[in-house]
Amino acid sequence: MKQSRNFYPVLFCLFAAFALFSGCTGGNEKSNPLPPSEPAATTDADTSQSATPAAKKEHTTTVEIKGMKFNPEVVTIHKGDTVEWVNNDLTAHCVTEKARKWASPAIASGSSWKKVVTENTDYFCAIHVVMNGRIKVE
């Protein structure tokens, strides 16, 4: 009997605390929605990245395509890094692995394309076959 008298205030406090917590969360959702300018895709991407337990940071090395050359022609990266080719040239280009194991689509002037690279790679532009580049993985 004594035990049950003590039980009710505790239960009430627990219920009140739960109600208060629930109310704050709900209130926040209503009063502070995501800014409409923030794209949902970005939020999803951020969430998925933070949810990934691996602390390994994605590193991107940029190769600029300009003056009908890959600049720099040789880049050294760590295994699993991303290489991004940015086409600042007058014409479209592409990136094709020397043995044609993989190839980008045509990269229009002002566009870019990226790929995670895990092994040493010699590549060329299949549109302008005299343009060559190399990725060294260390």
Partner 1 sequence: MKKQITSRRSALLLSAMFLLFSSFSFAQKSKATKLSDAEIASVAVAANQIDIDAAQLAQQKSKNAEVRNFAKTMIADHQSVIDKATALVTRLGVTPKNNAVTRQLQANAKKTLAGLRAKSGAAFDKAYVQNEVAYHKAVIAAVDNTLIPDAQNAELKGLLQTVSPVLHTHLEHAQMVAKDLK
To partner 1, the closest distance from the beta carbon of 90 in angstroms equals 5
Q: Which are the contacts of 116, defined by CB distance < 8 A and separation ≥ 6?
A: 80, 81, 82
Residues numbered 54 to 93 that lie near partner 1 (CB under 8 A) are: 67-69, 89-92
Which among 3-11, 36-44, 75-83, 126-134 is the span making contact with partner 1, rule CB under 8 A? Answer: 126-134
CA 101 to CA 124: how far, in whole Å?
12
Beta strands, E only, 68-109? 69-71, 74-77, 82-87, 96-97
Binding mask 3-42 for partner 1 (x = CB under 8 A): ----------------------------------------
